[in-house]
Chains A and B, each alone.
Chain A
């Protein structure tokens, strides 16, 4: 079996027990969250503290909006042949007071979704090469 790798380093982790978490940054001084972490400092202009701690974000949230993509995006999206349409959801995390985007889990019926419904994090294969299977976080209905 090919090894599993995240499609991008440092954004999320898959645990041995099958759980998935997004990893962001948290400012110890003002409490702000950042996803992705991107920089080593706080971007709150009223704070600007020099360090951010790694933090696991909430794995559940409520759906803010949603759509699907019915045509293959341009590179660098690793679109399969034939192209497989996918949903995209924007989910509000209550504790972090932020919205995080993700593809919707395969098989999600976009026409049955409603804003405000509970969603939870999961992970699925995005694409594979000869050497590895690349994984990405997704949202699914909870």
Chain B
């Protein structure tokens, strides 16, 4: 199966603008098309990531954006896969191209997020695990992030200083990103003054909920080969959207209990490990090949988990890797050179696309003050609710 090529990437800056999510999506889509030197009439397929918090238009995002860009009889798809929604949309577009059904596809994700904690959808729904965890236990997303953070402290000796060091690193990276919502370099003293939300995590350890949009223009290798801008082309080497394998004995949102390991052999890899592994296998690449990674730092502590999940270091060694400076800009394999969720906050259906926009920008050598020198291979990865996750590997 030939690799598809990223011809264009665009974003609407992240923030808390309070406007209709469609406005952001159209800005990002037009930016991606302009970046590719193409028009909406060149697009044979539009794949969009859904938003759950903006009514019906958010559930049919493909046609919502097609209508906003002007009906042209385009084939569309609308995907929801929690935090992996954007990557599933990219995968959907890639499949259409690889099947020969179109040359050029547009991928869009946009969100308008409510203030404060994410809650479940309204209504009384005891059949919905997402409703149960809020109603019965008051277990918010930060509750789970804090359980994972405390587990790192108990199992591997992580400290609050390590979590703060992740924040300081990412906040410095984000200074150089014009699309980031938060562009402020945090100091250890400022972090120490941030209120504890869920011990051991402070407000600044936890990513905000944001408005924003990201878009990509993808094309077949054959189509791309006919263009003059080949030095800007970035290839999608792999997209992984695997589910966990039973029994999943790690407590994942929104469940209030894990699977039982009785009666079945435990899987070879944890869920998060397996998301990366499937992408490495497809790309024929490994952790040593990475120039950079964009990982889903829903919390500062979670970034450390990802170092191990993507194979940058062995289990329990993420804090040492962080302290070595390897994951900061200028280090061996910078992680979240975009500034990550720490600087963006989360705009759910846009976020996985935004990660690939960053990979594209870095691999083209167009990242300005946050450029990873000589970037050849980039990996982006995330995990969402209900067994969704995704990993994309892009190459120059």
Contact = CB atoms under 8 A, between A and B. Distances in A.
A100 interface: yes
A53 interface: no
B195 A98 contact: no
Interface string B297-333: 0000000000000000000000000000000000000
Interface in B85-122: 116-120
Contacts of A45: 246
Contacts, number: 150
B384 interface: no
A11 B383 CA distance: 28
B152 to A, nearest CB: 9
B189 interface: no
Given A30-B263, A73-B117, A99-B249, A115 B151 contact: yes
A125 to B, nearest CB: 13
Interface of B: prevailing SS: loop
Interface residues of B, number: 48
A83 to B, nearest CB: 10
A74 interface: yes
Contacts of B246: 43-46
B178 interface: no
B260 A32 contact: yes
A44 B264 contact: yes
A76 B135 contact: yes
Interface in A25-83: 27, 30-36, 38, 43-47, 64-71, 73-79
B199 interface: yes
Instruction: Provide the main secondary structure of the chain A interface.
Output: loop
A121 interface: no
Contacts of A11: 136
A110 interface: yes
B263 A69 contact: no
Contacts of A95: 262
Contacts of A66: 147, 150
Contact of B151 (A9, A47, A65): A65
Contacts of A31: 262-263
A34 B258 CA distance: 8
Given A34-B260, A77-B134, A99-B249, A70 B197 contact: yes
A71 to B, nearest CB: 6
Nearest to A71: B197
Given A8-B132, A79-B138, A99 B154 contact: no
15 contacts: A38-B127, A43-B246, A44-B246, A67-B199, A69-B143, A70-B195, A74-B119, A74-B134, A76-B131, A95-B262, A96-B260, A96-B262, A97-B262, A98-B257, A98-B260
